[in-house]
Amino acid sequence: MKVMTVFGTRPEAIKMAPLVKALKKDPYFETIVCVTAQHREMLDQVLDLFNIKPDYDLNVMKKGQTLSMITSDVIEGLDKVLNEAKPDIVLVHGDTTTSFAAALSAFYHQIPVGHVEAGLRTFDKYSPYPEEMNRQMTGRLSDIHFSPTIRNKENLLRENVAEEKIYITGNTVIDALLEVANTKYDFDGELGSVLSSGKKLISVTCHRRENLGEYMANIFQALADIAKEYKDVEIVYPVHLNPLVRDAADKYLGGLDNVHLIEPLTYQPFTKLLQASYLVVTDSGGIQEEAPALGKPVLVVRKETERPEAVEAGTVKLSGVERKNIYNDIKDLLDNKQSYDKMANAVNPYGDGKASERILKALKEFSIGK
Ligand code: UD1
Ligand code: UDP
């Protein structure tokens, strides 16, 4: 079975890497990797770490790229690649514009689509934006769906996806996390001193398009309030390479002694940073899955989440996008041991590290059933 995986951003690469590795190991599959490079540097960091050498690289990233630019460049680029490679199935991941455009392109070529991380929903068109519609549209275009959880499967059933096309696999992010989490990594420089200071560490990531502007200002101001009030707390924020995010981070958080704005970390040290953290403040999707597995409380700075499983398990709290609420939630976790202990439980609703294995098994069934 000729399987082409298509991905382009950091999170897709992290979550597709274990699957690519598993596909390559199994002689049943011929594996072709096509990257769109919607992200350049942040994608390459992951490709290097997992030692993946793409067969095709569309190299679409541009500074200040719009959603239309990414969509049209990916569709146009994939035309040539799909004509040449003629895969039996194209696998895409999650909810990025790369995923949606690649699924659409495969459909234009009448090639079946497999959706990894299928069925996550907020049912709010603009939150997260454009990811909610990207994943809904990718779902419509897909012939086989790999859902991390039962709830994700139920979302798809409600959209009349045939039950036999949905497989509950767990999330491949746990496969990736387990691969790197137990490796050794020594920090040096600024981060090395922060981590060995013994102070409480708050890790932060923030990049979502719908948070750009007023909400991001609120989030950063809340963090600045905390940094000024708590001199015994260190805040570490590996800042996304999006220039709009970097400008806002510099504006509100630059120049504070105990706030460390650093470059994006490769995946291995980033997981070590999570492990060393007291708590995590983030608008990321993947980190809502990783931090609970590591027993770290997560405050999600978004209006909604498509990952309610960890909220229900108690380790993730939806903190919203208002300065006061975020400030209060961080303060409560810093000051109130009971609140902290209630959230700091290692729970893992997202899988057991065997998601890739299950996806391979499902792909074999799919290929025989055709
Ligand atoms: C995209 C995804 C989002 C995902 C996020 C992960 C869409 C619509 N959005 O965010 O779902 O959560 O990636 O990080 O698909 N840049 C670089 N180098 C890089 C990466 C980015 O310079 O390696 C800069 C470029 O100037 C680029 C900008 O960041 O134009 C924004 O990148 P983009 O992929 O468009 O970001 P988002 O859409 O916000
Ligand atoms: N991550 C990383 N280095 C960093 C920040 C995040 O490797 O400096 C990882 C993180 O562990 C998670 C993924 O990147 O697996 C999340 O990516 P991002 O927040 O960019 O996207 P999202 O998950 O929101 O789509």
Helix, strand, coil percentages for the chain (3-state, nearest 5): 50, 15, 35
Residue 95 annotated as catalytic: yes
- 93 close to ligand 1 (CB < 6 Angstrom): no
Query: 3-class DSSP state for residue 230?
Result: coil
Catalytic-labelled residue, pool 26, 209, 225, 332: 209
State both tokens at 89.
Answer: 């199935």
Give CA–CA dist 146/161, Å, rounded.
12
Expressed in angstroms and rounded, the spacing between residue 94 Cα and the centre of ligand 1 is 14
Reduce the DSSP state of residue 21 to 3 states and report it.
helix
Any alpha helices (H) in 159-299, and if so which ranges? 172-181, 189-195, 214-229, 243-253, 267-276, 287-293
In the residue annotation, 246 being an active-site residue is answered as: no
Q: How far is the CA of 365 from the centre of ligand 2 (A)?
A: 32
- Nearest CA, atom 36, ligand 1: 242
Q: Ligand 1 pocket, 41 CB below 6 A?
A: yes
Ligand 1 pocket test: pick from 69, 70, 96, 288 the residue with the most ligand atoms within 8 Å of its Cβ.
96
Catalytic residue among 12, 57, 131, 329: 131
Burial of 159 (0-12, 13-18, 19+ CB in 10 A): exposed
Cα(11) to ligand 2 centroid in Å equals: 5
DSSP per-residue string spanning 68-128: HHHHHHHHHHHHHHHHHH--SEEEEETTSHHHHHHHHHHHHTT--EEEES-------TTSS
Q: Is the CB of 246 under 6 A from ligand 1?
A: no
Tell me the ligand closest to 37's alpha carbon: 1
pLDDT truncated to tens, each residue of the chain (370 aa)?
A: 999 999 999 999 999 999 999 999 999 999 999 999 999 999 999 999 999 999 999 999 999 999 999 999 999 999 999 999 999 999 999 999 999 999 999 999 999 999 999 999 999 999 999 999 999 999 999 999 999 999 999 999 999 999 999 999 999 999 999 999 888 899 999 999 999 999 999 999 999 999 999 999 999 999 999 999 999 999 999 999 999 999 999 999 999 999 999 999 999 999 999 999 999 999 999 999 999 999 999 999 999 999 999 999 999 999 999 999 999 999 999 999 999 999 998 888 999 999 999 999 999 999 987 5
Shortest-distance ligand to the CA of residue 208: 1
Per-position b or e across 245-256, b if 16+ CB within 10 A of its CB: beebbeebbeee
Q: Quick one: pLDDT at residue 370? A: 57
Residue 234 falls in the annotated catalytic set: no
Residue 56, SS3 per DSSP: strand
Tokens read off for 363: 């792909």
Q: What spacing in Å lies between the alpha carbon of 273 and ligand 1's midpoint? A: 22
Q: Whose CA is nearest to atom 10 of ligand 2?
A: 287
Find out whether 239 and 204 touch, Cβ atoms under 8 Å: no
* CA–CA distance, 147 with 163 (Å, rounded to integer): 12
Respond yes or no: is residue 240 known to be catalytic.
yes
Contact 330, 279 (CB under 8 A): yes
Q: What is the pLDDT of residue 182?
A: 83
Whole-number Å distance between alpha carbons of 130 and 108: 22
Contact in structure between 304 and 357 (CB atoms under 8 Å): no
Q: d(Cα 1, Cα 15) in Å, to the nearest integer? A: 21
Nearest listed ligand to the Cα of residue 284: 2
pLDDT of residue 318: 97
Ligand 1 center to 339 CA (angstroms): 34
The ligand placed nearest to the CA atom of residue 267 is 2
DSSP-based three-state secondary structure for 243: helix
Record the tokens describing residue 64, joined without a space.
Answer: 């200040």
Give the DSSP letter of residue 168: E
Ligand 1 centre to CA of 97 (Å) is 10
CB proximity list for 363: less than 8 A, separation 6 or greater? 1, 3, 29, 89, 114, 144
Token look-up 């500074």 returns: 63
Atom in ligand 1 nearest the alpha carbon of residue 128: 11
- Is any ligand 1 atom within 6 A of the Cβ of residue 36? no
pTM, entire model? 0.98
369 CB neighbour count, 10 Å cutoff: 8
The two beta strands, 144-147 and 233-238, are unpaired
Residue 368 confidence (pLDDT): 86
The closest alpha carbon to 38, from 76, 14, 12, 16, belongs to 12
Beta bridge partners of 90: 4, 113
Per-residue pLDDT tens over the stretch 132-156: 999 999 999 999 999 999 999 999 9
> 331's torsion region: left (phi>0), alpha (psi -120 to 50) or beta?
alpha
